[in-house]
Amino acid sequence: MAYRESFYRFLMTQRNPDSHDEIAEFANNAQHDQQFPKQEQNYEKLSDYLELNASYLPSMTIFDRAYELYKDNM
């Protein structure tokens, strides 16, 4: 299996404190989440974590869009 960077590492490339884009805001907030599964690549595991712990994520559709971008960039 080819090496893939983790979703978190990809998400950190989407940060932009001046942006109101939902994915940028997700990335900005995830940066401050000490418990975020930083090595994880698996959609289900990430989704489960975010549904239970990410009060900063207003909608899971934002994660879905970010994960699609992540897959497209791998």
**pLDDT tens-digit series, residues 9-28:** 999 999 999 999 999 999 99
Contact 15, 31 (CB under 8 A): yes
CA dihedral 36, 49, 30, 19 (to 10 degrees): 160
Neighbours of 15 (CB within 10 A): 16
Q: Considering the entire predicted model, what is its pTM?
A: 0.91
Q: What is the pLDDT of residues 38-61, one digit of tens each?
A: 999 999 999 999 999 999 999 999
- Residue closest to 21 by CA, chosen among 56, 62, 61: 62
Give the pLDDT score at 3: 55
Neighbours of 25 (CB within 10 A): 19
Higher pLDDT, 71 or 1: 71
Give me the half-sphere count of Cα atoms (radius 13 Å) on the Cβ side of residue 59: 7
